[in-house]
Structure 1
Amino acid sequence: MVDLLPEQVAGYYDPDSNALYVAADVDSPLVRTTVSHELVHALQDQYMNLDSVMQQRRQNDRRSAAQAILEGQATLGQILVLMPEQSGIPLPSFWETRRVFRAQMASMKEFAHAPLWLRESVIFPYLAGADFVRWYDTRHPGHQPFGAAMPLSTEQILHPDRYAAGDAPVDLAFAPAAGRTVRYEDDLGEFETRLLFEQLLGDTAEAQAPALASGWGGDRYQVITTGGGEVLVWYSVWDDAAARDRFVAGLRRAWRPKPGRSSLVEPLLVAGHPGARLVDAPAAWTGWRAIPAVTVAR
């Protein structure tokens, strides 16, 4: 991560100081691109507190959706400054553009050697965000996807029709952590669930991952510290039983516990929603009869 950022970041807007910084060694043609992109962030900062949007704790998926809006707008603004003739031309979809963009980025040493999840996470907010913002502009001209209009999940970014239908994620909450030490808790969202399958399934995943993550309705995981090692408990809920069963079958095929560990992937109901649970724990873990439960928070 530390090595990758200097290669990728030519400049940035700092909302705390209201200052725009550009690296001293950036080539002149790239300065215009960088400034046009970062000035959009400066304009966004006039409408919302950028820090508050990006510092939401334990709301990874919602934060990723917000970042996609911010970077997507800036990417479109940058394109229109550099190529104003593109204003009326539809952009290719994120999943098409990603292949071209990824091929170009492969020439960058640090990016090419970064883990898949990091490479894809770098690309996602710019390309998927631009795709969504272009869609939003055609349906809500003159309006901004800020405040109450901000997408709530990467599912809504990837599937604007679900945003339009008001398909909000189901918020899951773990029961109070009595008697257990929670090291970390958060969610993945549809986009990172796709990435998980891409990482686990390797070369065959790009065609399979979108289908295996499709129908995502919400998720929550905890990493629990025990005397024998860490335990992962991950719950997810799905739009229907078919989506849930597809996910469970895919995860059973993809998930392989490391030596000395055991795992269980099973379907269940979560407050009436078709759900699934993954538990990955040390083989000697004694908590299988008292696995932490979740409830629907809303």
Structure 2
Amino acid sequence: MNRRRLAAVLSALLLVVAGCAAPVADPDAAGDASNEADGTADPADDWSWPDDPPTDRLGWEAGYWYNESIAVNQSDGLNATEREAFVARTMARVEVVRELEFEESVPVEVISRAEYRNQSDEPADPVHSDWNDQVWEALLLVGEDRTIDEVFDELYGGAVLGYYSPSEDRIVIVSDDDQPTIDRRTLAHELHHALQDQQFGLDGSPSTQDAQLAESGLVEGDARYVDRLYEERCAADWDCVPRPPASGSGSGSYDYPVFLTIYAPYSEGATFVSDLRERGGWAAVDDAYADRPASTEQILHPKRYPDERPVEVTVEDRSSAAWTRYDTDPVADTVGEASIFATFWKHRAIDRARLQQDTGAYSPYNYTAGPSKGWAGDAVVPYRPASDESYEANPHERGYVWRTVWDTEADAEQFERAYVTYTLRLRLGGSYAGENTYLVDDGPFADAYRVTREGNTVTIVNAPTVEQLDEVHSRE
């Protein structure tokens, strides 16, 4: 999504009341994990819980058992000793919940929100950024008055609570307090990302928007599911560090429909992971990292994973000599079901109340609606003027072809109707300008649009003027 991968907890976390308990039982009564299956003697038979074990094991990290008490008071911030104990015990607890072992410790840094906002991203590739702007414009989510990078900067700057960086093997917690504190649920979430990276690898990212969101549905869903189970243990039988009060200073203002798009993995991923676990325990979740979800359709409809793969959609280049595709890899993007839902939510082509109705046990939102749920595949191909002079002089002279394929003709018809009738004409004020052609005169999406449907396929061509539609993508 033209951003570095942020393993971030966004702003919609639930408040949970913590319970309390003291260490009451040997977490490894069966014996030292170093025992071999051949029955050889344990090299440390004289060890007994609760002393530190001679070898690492689930539920113990850096001198702390998962169920022992620690002295941490965040009212005046965290000192080094408190942070060390807090992080180590949380690691041990994440191991117990997820039934996976950390292979090494994870550095945790706490910074202020001002520091986070001042951090600079790697310089963006201007050509790829321009290409990506057309993808988000095709979704009718970010128009010509802004760039998607500007929207992301605004959104992430106010909503991120923390992130894990696979390339740096470290966690950064963003604190809104003058004396930096750590929210235990955020810490558990980001530590689980480190655990995922150590066990399965998180480097690299798919090439399309939909595939990125889909993979995040597994990665973020696993972490959200684990931090939810963590909180349930705090409420039931663990003595947990109280969560700092929410100050609200990090909320900021941001584009809500774009937020909905990138929040889909956080909202729906935990339900997806819960479904996997019901099918085959944690082993089924582990196995999914070797066969990661290929589309947000699979995240939104877990029963479609792993068998229902997205249809490969191609767009033949029928542009004139005046237009060209971007020199990017890939040339086309796939936006997917979750992003299309956000489009129709923004433009009220669906009942907005649907978003908070019929949600799952682990999902704050419901991303399914008639005009988007029959999605089978899509491809967005942005176009620019072939002349570099014209390209540089006219930043809004762009176009694109967006082809969507649907499960049935009825699904394609429903998408077309929602797009043309409710979005182009009713919400954007588009007027009829010829066969299957519409013109939006004003606003950030002021352009010409040609929308055609053949069977279960809908093709949308966009250009600055009606006359240029055939130059971007000629009729057959």
Q: Which structure: larger Rg?
A: 2
More helix by share: 1
Q: Please point out which of 63, 70, 90 is paired with 2:212.
A: 63
Q: What are the Cα deviations for residues 70-98 of structure 1, in whole angstroms up to 9, with x where unaligned?
A: 111111111222222889xxxxxxxxxxx
Output the amino acid matched with 1:212.
P
- Matched ranges for 1:1-298 at <5 A: 1-23=152-174, 25=176, 30-52=182-204, 55-57=205-207, 59-84=208-233, 111=251, 113-143=253-283, 144-163=286-305, 166-175=307-316, 179=321, 180-183=323-326, 185-201=332-348, 204-207=351-354, 210-226=369-385, 229-253=397-421, 254-255=423-424, 256=430, 257-259=439-441, 261-269=447-455, 274-288=456-470, 291=473
1:199–1:111: structure 2 CA closer, same or farther, 3 Å change rule? Answer: farther
Q: CA deviation at 1:125?
A: 1.5
Q: CA deviation at 1:68?
A: 1.2
Q: What are the Cα deviations for residues 9-54 of structure 1, in whole angstroms up to 9, with x where unaligned?
A: 23221111212222355588743212110111011102333121xx
Query: Percent same amino acid among aligned pairs?
Result: 25
Output the amino acid matched with 2:209.
N
Distance in 1 between the 2:314 and 2:262 partners? 28
Q: What are the Cα deviations for residues 237-283 of structure 1, in whole angstroms up to 9, with x where unaligned?
A: 011111111111111111244316321211125xxxx2001112122
Distance in 2 between the 1:135 and 1:28 partners? 37
Distance in 1 between the 2:190 and 2:223 partners? 7
Distance in 2 between the 1:50 and 1:113 partners? 30
Q: CA deviation at 1:145?
A: 4.7
Output the amino acid matched with 1:56.
P
Q: Could you tell which deviates more after superposition, 184-193 or 283-292? A: 283-292
Output the amino acid matched with 1:219.
D
Runs of 4+ in 1 over 6 A off after TM superposition: none
Report if the CA contact (8 A) 1:233-1:292 is conserved.
no
SS of the aligned residue for 2:195 comes to helix
Distance in 2 between the 1:157 and 1:62 partners? 11
1:110–1:122: structure 2 CA closer, same or farther, 3 Å change rule? Answer: farther
Output the amino acid matched with 1:240.
T
TM-score by length of 1: 0.78
TM-score by length of 2: 0.50
Report if the CA contact (8 A) 1:7-1:108 is conserved.
no
Report if the CA contact (8 A) 1:4-1:110 is conserved.
no
